[in-house]
Every structure is written in C-alpha cells, then in structure tokens.
C-alpha cells in the first residue's frame, strides 16, 4: 500500500535550513527575515479572524433588533390617516423603539466584551443606543421628504428596511472573508495546531477516613453564640466591625440606580427616557438596591429633603418592579396607565408606594429607638491610673529568641497567647490604644 505524504506539503516552516539564496545575500539574515514575515502574517491573520468573529456576533444581535423594529412598524400600518401631523407618527415610532429595546427575548442589551487585541478591548455601545442612533438617522431622512400621516409612516418603514438590508450585506461580506481566512489558516500545519489526540490516566486512592476528635462535653456549642469568648474579637480593625453580618448587607444600589433614584418624584417622562437609555436597570437586583438605598436614607435622614429622597427611591424601585411584572410590553403599558389621570392602576401604584415608604419609616424609627436604649448599657474594660498625675508605662517581654530567664520565656508565652490586635496595642506602649482594643472585647 503506497504511503501518502501529501499532508506534509501543508507544513509551514520558518527556519528551513535547506533554502538556497543568492551568493550576495547572507543566508542567516534571509532566514531570519523569512521567519519574521511568516510570524507577522500568521499574527495578522489570527487577529483579523478574531475581529471578524466578534463583529459577526455584534451584527447578529443588531440584525435581530432591526428586524423586530421593522415588524413593530409594519404592525402599525393603517393606524395613521392622511393629513395627520408628523408628531403622532413620530410618537408611534418611539413606542415601537421602546417595545423592541425592552424585549428581553432578544438577549442582553450590552454586547459581549471584545476579546483581547480586538478593537483595543473597548466596550461597544449598547444595542439600545445603536438602535436609537439608527432611528435618529432615519428620522433625518424622513424629515427631508416633508410627508405626514400614512406616507410619513411608510417612509419610516422603508428607511429602516434599507438599513436592515445594508447590515445584512455587511454580514454577508464578513462571512465570505471569514471563511477565506479560516480556510487559509487550516491549510497550514504549525506548531500551534499540534495537540494531544487522546490520553487518560487514573489514580486510585483510598479515601482517608475522617477521625472525629472525642469531645469532653459534646453537647456544648462552640464559642460565638453570645457567651464570653477568649477575646479574639479584639483583633477586629475599626473598619471591619460591621462586616460580614449577612448576605443582605451586600445588596446596594448601583451608580445607575442611584442616578435613577434622583429623578424628580412623579416625572414619568424623565423616568421613561432613562429606562430607554439604560434598559439593564429592569432587573430585580436594581429594585432591591433602591429599596436598600431608601432604607439607609431614611435611617440617616436629618431633614425633609432626605426623607423626600427616601420616598423617591421607593417610588422608582416599585416602578421598575411593576414594569417587570407587566410582562414583555410592561414598560409601555405601565407608563401609559400611570400617566392616565384617574386610572385605577395609577391609584394602586401610588398606594403601594405610600404603604411601602410608611413601613420603612416605621421600621427605621424603631431601630433608632432600640439603638438609643441599648447604647449605654454595655460594660467595657478600661485601664486608668488611680492618680491622674501618674503615667502608666507598658513593657512587653522580648521575643522568645532573646529571652534569657525562665520568667521571661513564661511571660512571652502568655503574651503570644493574646489576640494579635491586643499584642500590637501593647507593643505600641499607648494606653489609649490598649483601651480601644479592650473596649471591643466581650
């Protein structure tokens, strides 16, 4: 059976020692230049492939949203009569844009981050921003036609469809170039394409048996349940006293949510514009963060302005919650109902806001009262000189390597048994620092 060596023709060698060059050309320099050329071409090809693959993903997300916008606009056909002003048509286009940008079935609004080396790793604009810029561009083209009514709406549909076809053409050209580069990459056998075909290893180890220590008093619970401890909590730094008290403490409002919470109470137009520009805020985490922000603001409120901010945070948090609960078209439905004077949904929403804020205000007042009642009942260990004019000097035993007598070694062992925080305070020689640490000990 003849052996086929044709696959070796695809080998891409960068240091072929059998190459022949002109006698006037240095062979080593020529080989080095050839190596650099091959490596550079390979690097540029891989970078281009990664860029095209990333742009393909971005285009797919944009095509899905432009297609959804076209369907939404086509669904409005017959709604506008001839002679009607352009503002009504523009408002319908805006409603279609809101519907598409709030559609969770189209995926995340933020595109995936660019791989390393692609577009300088810059974060691409959100799909809602891309779609908004496209609609602005379409509106400029429609305004030039000076049409109104059904003709203006049809001009919108036609322009958006033309942009859809342009993106599809770009995507088609991208696919052609990507397939060509991938084919060119696959034709070459390089050291990077070498991989281990199959390998398996198995090590059998006996499971180590866990030996439970025999307890003298097995019914006793570990320290930390409120009883006196050895004082290890004295090692807690000042900034860490309130840390790790529960998972709820980690919930906080994001910068975007705080900005949303500062919108004037009842300004639904500004709230709608903010949601369109930041659709990622429509998640449960942001609602919880705004409620926590309201609780914290009410707890530390010292003026009517602080209380109004807490109430506004509650209002904006429940606004996001209602938009999510109303389903796919929740944003449009909510703002349409809440801005209708006398609508039952408006009264229901505002009653929910007032009752939620009332519960937060009551709870924060109760916690403040409990804190004031318990604030002066805690006993602390403090060291002071009997005579105010007497100073207390603190001496610590030397390190174990420097200890000479048995008494010094015994003193050092006792010192080493102290919590690290207490050791540092004693070594500083400051009585005030020692009292601060002793105040943290139970």
Higher pLDDT, 198 or 413: 413
Name which of 118, 101, 135 is nearest 56 in CA terms.
118
Q: Would the pLDDT of 380 be above 90? A: no
Q: Would the pLDDT of 343 be above 90? A: no
Residue 267 in contact with residue 315, Cβ under 8 Å?
no
Query: pLDDT (tens digit, 9 = 90+) per residue, 263-313?
Result: 999 899 899 999 999 989 999 899 999 999 999 999 888 888 889 999 999
Residue 274 in contact with residue 263, Cβ under 8 Å?
yes
Query: pLDDT (tens digit, 9 = 90+) per residue, 348-357?
Result: 889 999 999 9
Whole-number Å distance between alpha carbons of 392 and 377: 28
Q: Strand pairing partners for 11?
A: 189
Which pTM was predicted?
A: 0.41
Instruction: Find how far residue 97's CA is from the centre of its chain.
Output: 25
Going from the C-alpha of 20 to that of each of 9, 23, 26, the distances in angstroms are: 18, 9, 11
* DSSP letters for 87-146: HHHHHHHHHHHHHHHT-GGG--SSPPPPPTTSGGGPPPPPHHHHHHHHHHHHHHHHHHHT
Residue 283 in contact with residue 109, Cβ under 8 Å?
no
Q: What percent of the chain has pLDDT over 70?
A: 75
Lookup result for tokens 């006196």: 228
């Amino acid at each position: 059976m003849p052996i086929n060596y044709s696959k070796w023709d695809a080998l891409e060698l960068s240091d072929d020692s059998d190459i022949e060059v002109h006698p006037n050309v240095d062979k080593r320099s020529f080989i080095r230049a050839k190596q650099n050329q091959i490596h550079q071409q390979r690097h540029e090809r891989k970078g281009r492939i990664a860029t095209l693959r990333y742009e393909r993903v971005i285009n797919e997300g944009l095509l899905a949203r432009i297609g959804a916008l076209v369907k939404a606009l086509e669904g409005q056909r017959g709604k506008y009569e001839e002679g009607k002003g352009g503002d009504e048509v523009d408002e319908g286009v805006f409603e279609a844009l809101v519907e598409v940008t709030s559609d969770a079935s189209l995926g995340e609004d933020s595109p995936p981050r660019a791989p390393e080396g692609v577009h300088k790793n810059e974060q691409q604009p959100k799909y809602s921003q891309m779609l908004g810029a496209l609609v602005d561009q379409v509106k400029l083209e429609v305004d030039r036609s000076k049409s109104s009514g059904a003709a203006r709406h049809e001009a919108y549909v036609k322009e958006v469809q033309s942009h859809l076809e342009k993106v599809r053409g770009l995507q088609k050209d991208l696919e052609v170039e990507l397939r060509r580069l991938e084919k060119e990459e696959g034709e070459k056998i390089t050291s990077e394409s070498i991989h281990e075909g199959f390998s398996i290893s198995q090590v059998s180890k006996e499971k180590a048996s866990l030996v439970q220590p025999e307890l003298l008093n097995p019914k006793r619970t570990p320290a930390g349940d409120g009883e006196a401890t050895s004082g290890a909590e004295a090692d807690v730094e000042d900034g860490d006293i309130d840390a790790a008290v529960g998972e709820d403490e980690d919930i906080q409002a994001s910068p975007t949510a705080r900005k949303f919470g500062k919108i004037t109470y009842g300004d639904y137009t500004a709230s709608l514009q903010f949601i369109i520009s930041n659709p990622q805020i429509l998640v449960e985490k942001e609602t919880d963060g705004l409620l926590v922000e309201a609780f914290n603001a009410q707890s530390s409120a010292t003026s009517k302005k602080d209380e109004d901010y807490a109430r506004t945070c509650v209002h904006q948090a429940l606004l996001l919650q209602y938009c999510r609960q109303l389903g796919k078209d929740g944003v449009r439905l909510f703002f349409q109902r809440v801005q209708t004077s006398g609508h039952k949904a408006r009264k229901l929403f505002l009653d929910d806001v007032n009752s939620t804020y009332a519960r937060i205000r009551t709870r924060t007042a109760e916690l403040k009262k409990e804190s004031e009642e318990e604030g002066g009942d805690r006993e602390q260990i403090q060291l002071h000189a009997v005579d105010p004019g007497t100073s207390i000097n603190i001496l610590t035993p030397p390190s174990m390597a420097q200890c000479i007598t048995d008494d010094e070694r015994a003193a050092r062992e006792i010192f080493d048994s102290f919590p690290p925080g207490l050791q540092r305070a004693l070594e500083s020689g400051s009585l005030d620092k020692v009292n601060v640490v002793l105040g943290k000990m139970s």
